[in-house]
Amino acid sequence: MLTSVDRLLFVRRVPIFKELRDDFIVRLTSVMNELSFPANYTIFRQGEEGRSLYIVVSGRVKVHIGNKQLAEVEQGKYFGEMAVFDTQPRSASATTLEPCEFLELTQEQLYDAIEETPEIAVNIIRELSRLIRKLNDDLNVTSLRS
């Protein structure tokens, strides 16, 4: 179990939350669920309904479609955010590569937080835009090599 101070310090480093005030992060982290899963545990499957994002406290997770690995997520990073925002089925599966601990933020918790502090929405938009730009850059580099 993380103490409130540990949660604050940990979540403060997560890109979508790093610009928020400490009092807001304390409130947000107080409602997050702590989860632990063993190695090779499927957290969610492609096509399932998703209503949570996960922040890796310890361990590593692979995000994949079938046998094709899309990403490896490690401590301090997050995954599962797309389903929280668009309420569409999960676009990929997530499986632990080793024993893992997470903080889980549900859609309801996030929406309540955005209602209370709209700046979080701006941070999330900024971070998701950064990820889209990186994907575009990666695609451009790949197409130039072809």
Residue 146: predicted pLDDT: 65
Contact between 19 and 123 under an 8 Å Cβ cutoff? The reply is yes
The pTM score is: 0.83
Residue 62: predicted pLDDT: 98
Check whether 1 has a pLDDT greater than 80: no
Homologous superfamily (CATH) of 4-144 is Jelly Rolls (2.60.120.10)
Q: Which helix (H) or strand (E) holds 37?
A: strand 33-37
Inter-axis angle of helices 107-116 and 22-31, to 10 degrees? 150
For 74-90, what is the mean pLDDT? 87
Check whether 143 has a pLDDT greater than 80: no
C-alpha 34, offset from chain centre = 14
Inter-axis angle of helices 107-116 and 119-145, to 10 degrees? 120
The pair of three-digit structure tokens given for residue 29, joined into one six-digit string: 């982290």
Q: What is the mean pLDDT of the chain?
A: 88
Q: Give me the phi and psi of 95, to 5 degrees please.
A: -135, 135
